[in-house]
Structure 1
Amino acid sequence: MRRLPNPRLWGWGLALVVPILIGMPALRQGLPIGMLEQLDVELQSLAILLHGRKPPSNDPVIVAIDETSLAVDVLFTPEERSDSPLLQAMGPWPWPRSLQAELAAYVLERGARGVIFNIVFANPSAYGPEDDQQFLDRLSPWRDRITLAADFERNSNDGIEQRQLVLPLWPWPRIGLTTLLLSERGQVRAIPGSNWNEDELGTLPGPHPTALAFVANDRPPSREALGLPFSGPAGDWPMVPAWQLETQPDSVWKDRLVLIGSTAAAMGQQQETPFGPVSGVEVQAVAIAAVAENTGLLPLQASWEIPLLIGWIALAGLLLLRARSSRAIVLTTLLLISLSLLLTGTIWLGFQRWLPQATVLAGLLLGGGTKAAQTWLQENRERDELRRVLERRVSPRLLQKILKEPDRLGTQLGGQHCRCVVLFTDLVGFTSLSSQLEAKTLFNLLNAYFDGLAGAVIAEDGLLDKFIGDSLMAEFGIPESRGDREEALAAIRAALAMQKSLARLNAQLAAEQQPTLSQGIGLHFGDLIAGNLGSRDRLEFTVIGATVNVASRLEGLTRQFQEYPILISGELLALVEDAVEVVDLGPQALKGWPEPIQVFGFIKLIGEE
């Protein structure tokens, strides 16, 4: 029967694949993923803000209808205005259209390359038809160099959406749309491209003007909306207040586009930008410069976006799959997020393209978060299992080390190669003793005996491997080695402590007129394999290898050399030769071993009585 894929890998795969699919433009259409798109908009705004202020373009220059221009009749005396027909005509809004025409004519006569009105002349002038005619007559010499504004309105009445294109009152060769595209929280993000025109204006009567910035630059519109690279807060853009128009040298206007519009907050044309509120005419200036200088922000082309998304998230998935611990996964995810932001910033600054960063971040956060959570839960389960299995087999200090790095203990079914000391001890003559004692007495005796042995191993940071009848096996040097020499000395100290514990127990048994016990201990150093052994339902950590067999056979030799209850191998002695006193018992044949090994009877540690 075919084995089903690992559910953890399924969840991990979906966490990576779903954001890729969402990121594809063809699949994004019609999907309820506005949150991702809005997050992209907010990330763009944040990127602009973090990039900081930069010098604005010199073109276009704004003729600003500001608060002072709207109050010249109050701020200046008639005598102060007597020499300027323009100042005499200024005052509260609305201004005569003849005055607005004079502003445009003034800069055109002084060499301006063109004029763009950010004012929609949709209704007849409040000053009568003569005012409209004066506007047309005054500007007729420059009709092909003047761009008038149009607007798009969307209203809802009783749940019925109404859309209207607001065009200038008169036919005009150059008309541009002042509509701005806003984020969900009302911040300007872009000017519409031709896709927007087709979607929003396609069913309305023509003509269908494109965005003002494209018309002003005699450029065809981009297909996608053009993101605006704001350079600073309100007032940063080059501008001349309308009331100061006549005080400027002709060089201010020479060969430049001039944008006429209101900066007065009272006229209600303020727009939110990453740098705060900015007048609508300043936003249009940013757009015109962006089109002229090719600095507008466009989405990454689909032919690049899809492979880049797939490649990037596949790379991220590969790196995250290689990260084993939850901590490593979190750090890898944070690193990938940083690299992703760096990549997006590089593409933005170098190519004026925007990678759908929200999709990438969603993939990394969803994938990395899922994997980290799964791994963390698995680590906790493994740590709890290790604690349960080992808390009575190792010292508290060693247990804490193991729990910090559970992988080092070989928590998988496989094992790991290591070098350590194996201690094997057994009671001498236990079979005959067990036949003399009642079961309860026998078990009480063994428990008291093993309690002393286990304490000796744990005190030296050894690992209690197993109890087999009246035998005990322990290791020194796994899972944490303090160095071969130190582990060898620790094993010897543990063996000596076992003998002292047995001596105390024998004194108690003698006092109770019970049979006393004797033990043999074998110590050997060498290679072995450590790991969990058993079925998936029941695993036991243990060691296997020739080193275990040699230690067991050395313990058995203590029956032959009864005056030396602790026997050590030549391999172990080589580690501690200057620290111990031993007797060379010569080469000894071990059962099941192909050739004799050098055996030594342990006497004492040098410097200890």
Structure 2
Amino acid sequence: MNAKQLKDYRAAIIVAALAAIMATLAVQYLTFLSELETTSRDLRVAGQSAPMPQSKDIVIAGLTEETVSQFAYRSPVDREFLANLIKTLEAKGARAVGVDVLFDQATEPAKDELLKKTIREAKVPLFISYSNSSNIVNEDQLAYLNDFVPERLRAGANLLKDPTNDSVRWIFPGQTNPGMPLGFVRKAVKLIGINTPNTAPEIAWRPHPDAETPAFAVYPSHTVAFLPDEWFKGKIVLIGAILSITDRHRTPLAVLDDGDDGNMPGITVMAHGISQVMEGRSLQRFNLAGDIAITVLFALVGVGLGLLKRGAAFSFTVGGIFILLYWVGSFFGYSNGLPLVPLLAPTLALLLALWLMDVAIGRAERKQRQFIQGAFSRYVSPAVVSQLVDDPSALSIKGDRREVTFIFTDIASFTTLSEGLTSEALSEVLNAYLDGACSIILKYQGTIDKFIGDAIMAIFNAPISQPDHAERAVKCALELDVYAEDFKKKQNAAGIPIGVTRIGIHTGVATVGNFGSSSRMDFTALGDTVNTAARTEGVNKYFGTRICVTEESVAECPNLRFRPIGDVVLKGKTKPVGLFSPVSEADAATNVTEDYMAAYELLKAENPKGIDSFRALATQYPSDPIIAYHCRRIDAGATSTLIVLEDK
């Protein structure tokens, strides 16, 4: 590289940095540019969002024109009606009820008292709109509101709007001043067990499933009493006005819609926020650092085009095509999962870089270079201008292959149990069971990977190395078995027919690490070892055992005793796996293990004496499940310990 080239590259670096900084600051601080950037995002959200199914968690009991026409006055809403509505929703089994009505003035005394009594005595989780902002309520209204709505039921009803176009854009977090409660959305999700930080995330508007179906089911509130209970049972029901002119707010969707989406009822705004938090969704867009990275990238593209020294017409034409493709790709890509990438700043950065490079190089020098290129292009390869890099905000998801031991647990016939209990009783039993089981797993320093209903998957030797991971897992399983049996007996005595807990243990190499997307990742394990471990748990039902351990795990537990079950070919496998049952303290106190091993070795060698030995053991130990299993096999014609399972 000669001195002239070095000078050009230094100039190019300065131009790229300057163009990126100027473009970023311009979009950040020039109102008309920031509004254009906001509009470009709103256009993508309003026009290119992928459809989503109608929410199954949230419904709206709307105060419609037909509703208020039944009363002697439109406002405030008849409070006897609201009291009865809350009672009706409670009776229908609503998960929670939110009332987006501000009770800041008196109406008819008897009806006021009825509603006050109803909200205080309601058993359904209830939250009610509240505000102490001076621009919403005066001192008298605030005093009345404080008396009417107990502090525990209050939910901040304010809306956070974009000052440039008055659109509701963020979730109001609440707690913004003394006396201001959690915002309406945060209060709603807290009542169902979701805690949220005191931040104001941008609203991720839930798209309609289709042109005819709203994002949330809306039922006129005066019809709720006559509608099926299942339409409300287990759901968050929001009560609020969906009148034509009352409590309407502009949203970003107004850029394409002048109806209920663009000019949205406040209660629907709240539904979008609650749905977003419940489902863990967020508006997918880069943060400021990501925006700057893309802007710098576009500045480098502009600099690269300038370094080609093919003339302003060439550079601006190619740059224009690049920008056009980027804009089109950003719009159509959004409907396919592409985040909201910035448009204005990268565009400005590329154009500024092209212009500044043109100025930096100079027209006279460009003409000289054009001459040189024309004269020597047949002999010299064109210089490399720039190289696109991967998206810097993408997460690198890596896994680590290591030997681990898995525990899988599952409660027998849990589906049948769940169908016979109320949701509250089922939740209480399952949570108590899992709480005790998880305490034992954590005691042995296992990693709880996931819950699948009543089932638990736990990993040993990841992420923390544990040289004795297999032995830990087996000891953990034995203690889990004692706990689960005791839990079952107590529940059965209480009239709850919970079944036995079956446990499978397997050791092998798997890929463990963080897997997922940039917005959600889970620490888990992948590989066939995981499948074998799960199937090991499932085969307990064939043997009548409660704990089943593979030979790989047994080989790493020299200090523990096991009884072999057999050489088992699992469903979908061709190679037999040695399966074992650990010797419990109860079995260790008897001679069953020694007697069993003697009979097992004979059967394994296909010695006819093994058959007679097992039949004798069945009389001596009638309650032993493994002995009973082998006797059934022998009666069916089995003469060895090879077992081929046809089902999982």
TM-score after normalising by structure 2:
0.46
